[in-house]
Structure 1
């Protein structure tokens, strides 16, 4: 007899055993006597609910996967559905990538050596002398902005619509920062972030990249039209 047939027989015994009268169970166990041979009304058990039968049936075949074809089809359908739910769309992957980059940059901004003139870092002023990689002028506020964008990117990447909005709105914010950096004087109090020329053009590249990813990948993702 094949393993599949044995498992089918075992599953029926496993499920039906919970619905057998006490006297029948006693006979199967080898009990002798009137009580075991004659079922008594007070010992008869109520029929098992259909939901309970189904649950025990599924528990059996999850333990012994080689079931009948219908069970295999059901498990395959559930597995495919789970993969579709857990699969990440391109726009989600892009948002996660951007979030990770911002998070990394924010952390590096607090590491001496990678950030030159670290002791000259201020909270929020154009007089902050710290520079990331010796190029990009930063401050504590500037690093916190990077960290906030990083955390937001990782959190909003859980759904395609939220990831799309993160890339689109985040890109618009960085384009606004680019325009702001060009408009204000680097030595004025208005430049409190602060921003130097390298920061300005980096923000331009980031803004274009994020908006472009949102528009390009958002069209390929089902459901982002319902924004």
Structure 2
């Protein structure tokens, strides 16, 4: 006998949950890699925060201890958000908006300025633009792929 599925929760891995999990894992990996000498060039010049940090992840992206911690926190947030579809969508949308704001900040603030506390360089700015746009697009489009489909009578098929 079919049962009414209105408001039922599921443990199925929807595309939006998978995306939040994947993005979270990438942030965690990048956060850890930022603390590994060799993967991060000029590791001994890394500062807690500020534009004086001359450490570069993969020799390209300017990082500091604070920058790496932010990546780790975004990673943990992604893993936690992936537990539910609505949370995953919010993580992707809000996280994407935060990264777009960080892109604007990086474009506006001079790299040598004391206001560049994260620190950010041109490569970081382009990455933040791509991350922000990608996360917003995933958060906006993926939930539409997982809308519950019900039989015209209101009963779900088993």
| TM-score band w.r.t. shorter chain | 0.7 to 0.9
How much does 1:85 deviate? Answer: 2.7
2:53 maps to which residue?
128
Distance in 2 separating the partners of 1:140 and 1:153: 20
1:157 aligns with 2:79: no
Coordinate RMSD, CA, aligned? 1.5
Matches within 5 A, 1:43-62: none
Distance in 2 separating the partners of 1:188 and 1:222: 47
1:182 maps to which residue?
107
- Size of the aligned set, in residue pairs, is 142
How much does 1:127 deviate? Answer: 0.5
Matches within 5 A, 1:45-194: 85-194=10-119
Which TM-score applies when normalising by structure 2? 0.87
Task: Give the structure with higher Rg (CA).
Answer: 1
1:197 maps to which residue?
122
Q: Secondary structure at the match of 2:10?
A: helix
Unmatched 5+ residue regions in structure 1?
1-72, 78-83
> Residue 160 of structure 1 contacts residue 221 of structure 1 at CA under 8 Å; is this kept in 2?
no
How much does 1:147 deviate? Answer: 0.2
Distance in 2 separating the partners of 1:218 and 1:190: 37
1:220 maps to which residue?
145
Unmatched 5+ residue regions in structure 2?
4-8, 149-158
| Structure 1 residue runs of 4 or more that deviate by more than 6 Å after TM superposition | none
Matches within 5 A, 1:20-59: none
Structure 1 or 2: larger helix share?
A: 1
> Residue 178 of structure 1 contacts residue 200 of structure 1 at CA under 8 Å; is this kept in 2?
yes
Which TM-score applies when normalising by structure 1? 0.61
Query: Which of 1 and 2 has higher RCO (CA within 8 Å, sep 6+)?
Result: 2
> Residue 115 of structure 1 contacts residue 132 of structure 1 at CA under 8 Å; is this kept in 2?
yes
